[in-house]
Chain A
Amino acid sequence: MNIILIKRIVFVLALIPLVRLFVLGFFGNLTANPIEFITRSTGTWTITFLSMTLAMSPLRFITGWPQWVQFRKMLGLFCFFYAFLHFTIWYWLDHNLNFTFMINDVIKRPFITMGFIAFVIMSLLALTSNQIAMRFLGVKWKMLHRFIYLIGILGLIHYYWHKQGKNDFAVVYIYAAIIFSLLIIRIPFVKKLIKS
């Protein structure tokens, strides 16, 4: 199967979480509190796509199949896409697009601060994901895009602190285990160990 066809399939699959929300909404199945449901769903998908994006390079050196990295950009942009929806729904439906109200929340509440910083950095990465920016930034591009590791950690803290009030950490721990493994695998020493 050629890579372009696989990419198209992945693209369609990556839209399923969004289509699902529309279908649930159409049939009135977004629970009694749709805003919370949509916010949480898009948040969970953001961190899922972040994990998938981070998984591509390790998969390349583990399986030896070089094509994995060709999905990295698309998955990263989908990660940003769901983060954008997550932020927009929260800003629009939860804060009635009131900028002061929104920024106050960002400043006052550490868990939102973490999510917001992660989103701002992610926006920079999304803006510079094209060929022109890549050529323009040169060596700096790679440095800039290493910030995805920081985004992963900020995203986890955001999620963890959000769940802290109810001590409901089961799912957070799963994502933390995945993301930390994907980060540890990148350490040159660990990488060498796996290769041998």
Chain B
Amino acid sequence: MVFKDLKIKSRDITPQNIFERRRQLLKTATFGFVAAGLSTLSLGDAFAATEDNKKKLSSKLNEQYSVKDKLTSYKDITNYNNFYEFGMDKEDPAKYAKSLITRPWTISVEGLVQKPGTFDIDSLMKLSAMEERIYRMRCVEGWSMVIPWNGFALSHLLNKVEPLGSAKYVEFISLADPKQMPGLKSTVLPWPYQEGLRLDEAFNPLTLLTFGLYGEVLPKQNGAPVRVVIPWKYGFKSAKSIVKIRLTDKQPATSWSGVATKEYGFYSNVNPNVSHPRWSQSMEHRIDGRSILSPKIKTEIFNGYGEHVAKLYAGMDLQKFY
């Protein structure tokens, strides 16, 4: 005889395959949790900020736009950052950027465009084929790195929204959320961080909409989940953790030139012949593991990218438009 409980309806009984899948899920979840815990223990603080999104990005090296210089190590790229939203010291972003929430993330493109829109980060990443670009990065402070970025030309996104004829500039606005960014307590800069380019600069194929470095999703301290990289300009022009891109007809106000106009101009092209008021820009320390006793190297005009960008500034007085 088979006992039958009439209160249990057949739809309440979990089919075996689903039941087993749940078991599997639980096991995976538990294992994953423990593994994540262990990896935090073994890797320590330096990598904690990146471990939860150490996802691979498949991309193809774009040789035309890549340099052959020796790469800066992943450790140096991810532990020596200027990202004041997370503190003033170079080590602060690696320590404090963990609190940045990169999913969900949207970036809205608005202003003088035919088709304004808000893009979800994951669909934005599929907008064009991901490339690897090995770029020099020259900081206005006098040091430089060589970084393999992953992304695609910003022009792909700009073309998608169809700029109007009246659009002359592009403005980038970074996230400013005091709950996620302890550095916003500081009054060093007005928040949110704002940067900008002339439209033709933004359309230059070197201007990279960037989602990763060293073939992995951007670590939070490097401007996750999306930033721009403009290799012929000083590093601060390359805005991080962007939430808004606006096309305008007037030159946008930019954060650093707002607080110190004489020291940081709108263009801020790398230029050994235009000194910063407090130091010469003719030389740089290359951070690539070389001995500290090795001499500094000469800084090149447009950071060595003159063949691609010098034409943008033909006839302009670069001493005046620094």
A residues with a Cβ closer than 8 A to B are 30-36, 38, 93-94, 96, 101, 104-105, 108-109, 111-112, 161-162, 164-168
Contact = CB atoms under 8 A, between A and B. Distances in A.
Given A109-B277, A168-B88, A35 B285 contact: yes
B188 A166 contact: yes
Contacts of A35: 285, 292
Nearest to B260: A165
Chain B interface extent, by class: 20 to 34
Contact of A32 (B79, B187, B188, B263): B79
A33 B296 contact: no
B279 A31 contact: no
A14 B234 CA distance: 39
B187 A33 contact: no
Interface of B: 72, 75-76, 79-80, 88, 90-91, 141, 143, 145, 187-188, 259-260, 263, 275-280, 285, 287, 292-293, 295-296
B295 A96 contact: yes
Contact of B278 (A38, A93, A94, A161): A161
Nearest to A92: B293
User: In this complex, which of A33, A96, A101, A112 has the most chain B Cβ atoms within 10 angstroms of its Cβ?
Assistant: A33
A168 B188 contact: yes
Contact of B287 (A33, A96, A165): A33
Query: In the complex, which of the residues A30, A31, A32, A38 has the most CB atoms of chain B within 10 Å of its own CB atom?
Result: A32
Given A32-B143, A108-B275, A168-B88, 19 more contacts: A30-B292, A31-B79, A31-B91, A32-B75, A33-B143, A33-B285, A38-B292, A93-B296, A96-B295, A96-B296, A104-B280, A109-B279, A111-B278, A112-B278, A161-B278, A162-B278, A165-B276, A165-B277, A167-B259
Contact of B280 (A31, A33, A105, A168): A105
A105 B75 CA distance: 33
B88 A32 contact: no
A166 to B, nearest CB: 6
Contacts of B277: 109, 165
B201 to A, nearest CB: 24
Contacts of A112: 278
Interface-central residue, B80, B280, B287, by most chain A CB under 10 Å: B280
Contacts of B296: 93-94, 96
B279 A105 contact: yes
Contacts of B88: 166, 168
A19 to B, nearest CB: 17
A32 B278 contact: no
A164 B277 CA distance: 11
B292 A165 contact: no
A165 B263 contact: yes
The A contact surface, by secondary structure, is helix
A168 B79 CA distance: 20
Contacts of B75: 32
Contacts of A111: 278
B289 to A, nearest CB: 9
Given A33-B90, A96-B296, A165 B278 contact: yes
A161 B72 CA distance: 31
Contacts of A164: 278
Contacts of A96: 295-296
B275 A32 contact: no
B297 to A, nearest CB: 10
A114 to B, nearest CB: 11
B80 A93 contact: no
Contacts of A165: 260, 263, 276-278
Contacts of B263: 165
Nearest to A101: B280
The 3 closest A-B pairs by CB, nearest first: A32-B80, A32-B76, A34-B292
Nearest to B287: A32
A176 B40 CA distance: 41
Contacts of A94: 296
B50 to A, nearest CB: 16
Contacts of B79: 31-32
B224 to A, nearest CB: 19
A31 B90 contact: yes
Contacts of B275: 108
Contacts of B90: 31-33
12 contacts: A32-B72, A32-B76, A36-B143, A38-B292, A96-B295, A96-B296, A108-B275, A109-B279, A162-B278, A165-B277, A166-B188, A167-B187
Given A94-B296, A167-B187, A167-B259, A31 B80 contact: yes
Contacts of B292: 30, 34-35, 38, 93
A81 B275 CA distance: 31
